[in-house]
Structure 1
Amino acid sequence: MKTLLIVAHAPSENTRLMAEAVLKGAQHPDIEQVQTRWIPPLETTPEDVLACDAIIMGTTENLAYMSGALKDFFDRCYYPCLEAKQGLPCALYVRAGNDGTGTCRAVETICTGLRWNWIQLPLVCRGDWKPEFLQQCEELGMTMAAGLDVGIY
Structure 2
Amino acid sequence: MKTLLIIAHAPSENTKLMAEAVLKGAQHPDIEQVQTRWVRPLEATPEDVLSCDGIIMGTTENLGYMSGALKDFFDRCYYPCLEVKQGLPCALYVRAGNDGTGTCRAVETICTGLRWNWIQPPLVCRGDWQTLFIEQCEELGMTMAAGLDVGIY
TM-score category, normalised to shorter length: over 0.9
Distance 1:28 1:45 in 2: 26
CA deviation after TM superposition for structure 1 residue 122, in Å? 0.1
Structure 2 alignment gaps of length 5 or more: none
Task: Tell me the number of residue pairs that the alignment of Structure 1 and Structure 2 aligns.
Answer: 153
- Describe the SS at the equivalent of 1:64: coil
Q: Deviations over 1:78-135 (max 9, x none)?
A: 0000000000000000000000000000000000000000000000000000000000
Structure 1 alignment gaps of length 5 or more: none
- Describe the SS at the equivalent of 2:133: helix
CA deviation after TM superposition for structure 1 residue 23, in Å? 0.1
Distance 2:2 2:131 in 1: 30
Tell me how large the CA RMSD over aligned residues is.
0.1
CA deviation after TM superposition for structure 1 residue 4, in Å? 0.1
Distance 1:48 1:149 in 2: 19
Q: Deviations over 1:44-74 (max 9, x none)?
A: 0000000000000000000000000000000
- Describe the SS at the equivalent of 2:41: coil
- Describe the SS at the equivalent of 2:128: coil
Distance 1:33 1:84 in 2: 23
Q: Which runs of 4+ in 1 moved over 3 A?
A: none
Q: Which residue of 2 aligns with 1:12?
A: 12
Give the percent of matched residue pairs that are identical in Structure 1 and Structure 2. 90
In the superposition, the TM-score normalised over structure 2's length comes to 1.00
In the superposition, the TM-score normalised over structure 1's length comes to 1.00
1:23 corresponds to 2:23: yes
